[in-house]
Amino acid sequence: MKLIFDIETAGYPFEDLSESQQEFLLRYADKEKVQQYRKEKEADVKRFLNLYPLTARICSLALLNIHSEKMFIMYEGAKGKSWEVPERNLKYAALPEKEIIEMFWNYAEEAEQLISFNGRNFDLPFLMIRSAILKVKPSKNFLRTKYHSKNHIDLLEKFTYYGLTKKFNLDFYCHAFGIKSPKSNGITGMDINELYKSGKIKEIAIYCGEDVRATYELYKVWNTYLNI
């Protein structure tokens, strides 16, 4: 079983962080003498909290089995809520974050290979640290060797030949290869924090699924023409 996966993350409210954590995050902004620039740096700190596993949670995680082409999308919420889109082989389920992570590691343990876009630099380290914070033991270590892709293929590494060429985001690759971009519905990764604050978690789950769908199409391009 080969699984394509992606996560979406939402930052904690800045005010919920401890005073010392806030001071640490704002240390460079506080050194800025020009008030306008200081406020801009403070805004950036709060806007990018979702990029770090110590200041954010996993609010959605999508998995696609490339053999069956079935997708399972989990999102943070009260356990028991779920819905399906049979014509697209989609199933959505609400779970607490800890159970989302546990479910991921259960699937990962059975998987022959994981496939991601920028998973080595973002998704997998984020999952590992969030697992430790929530007292979950990962079933496998997919970060052992950078150039070994037996159990994990990071398409961003493959399309840049491990940094030999310029990196682009998933949307850019989708347009270049004629793939429907997950951003075509008007949502981008930078919208996740605001959507989460507004309680629009289902919209986040749908976007996460579209990310995985686009990653699957990009994988097919790489596997057909560049997997030599």
Range 77-93 average pLDDT: 89
Half-sphere exposure of 1 (CA within 13 A, CB side): 15
Residue among 196, 176, 171 nearest 186 (CA)? 171
Q: What is the pLDDT of residue 150?
A: 87
Q: What is the pLDDT of residue 190?
A: 78
* Segments forming the whole domain that contains residue 220: 2-225
Q: What is the pLDDT of residue 6?
A: 98
pTM of the model: 0.94
Where residue 208 sits, what CATH number does that domain have?
Answer: 3.30.420.10
For every residue of 74-91, which 3-state class applies, written as one string?
A: EEECCCCCEEEEHHHCEE
Give tens-digit pLDDT for 170-193: 999 999 999 999 887 777 777 899
Q: CB–CB of 58/101 below 8 Å?
A: yes
**C-alpha to C-alpha distance for 208 and 228, rounded to whole angstroms:** 29
How many domains is the chain built from? 1
Q: What is the pLDDT of residue 90?
A: 94
CB atoms within 10 A of CB 40: 13
